[in-house]
């Protein structure tokens, strides 16, 4: 409760946790974020495609 009284809400809202330079110092860059996002998106699409293929195969086997 004391921290809330020491810092008004508008001053706390304007401060950020980290700057871009601080993120780069710990190894978080735009390229790494894009790489992780792309890999995750690719993994989701691959799993969807794999499940879709299995579903098509199961339906084809059921129709035989």
Confidence of residue 20 (pLDDT cuts 50, 70, 90): confident
Higher pLDDT residue, 28 or 5?
Answer: 28
Residues in Cβ contact with 29 at an 8 Å cutoff, skipping those fewer than 6 apart: 23
C-alpha distances in Å from residue 25, one per residue of 20, 33, 35, 39, 57: 9, 14, 18, 23, 49
The reported pTM is 0.60
Residue 4 pLDDT > 70? no
Confidence of residue 46 (pLDDT cuts 50, 70, 90): very high
Joined together, the tokens standing for residue 11 give 């001053």
- Looking at residue 37, what is its pLDDT? 97
Higher pLDDT residue, 53 or 22?
Answer: 53
């Amino acid at each position: 409760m004391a921290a809330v009284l020491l810092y008004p809400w508008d001053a706390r809202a304007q401060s950020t946790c980290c700057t871009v330079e601080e993120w780069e110092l710990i190894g978080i860059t735009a390229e790494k974020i894009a790489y992780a996002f792309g890999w995750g998106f690719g993994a989701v699409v691959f799993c969807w495609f794999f499940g879709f293929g299995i579903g098509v195969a199961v339906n084809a086997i059921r129709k035989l």
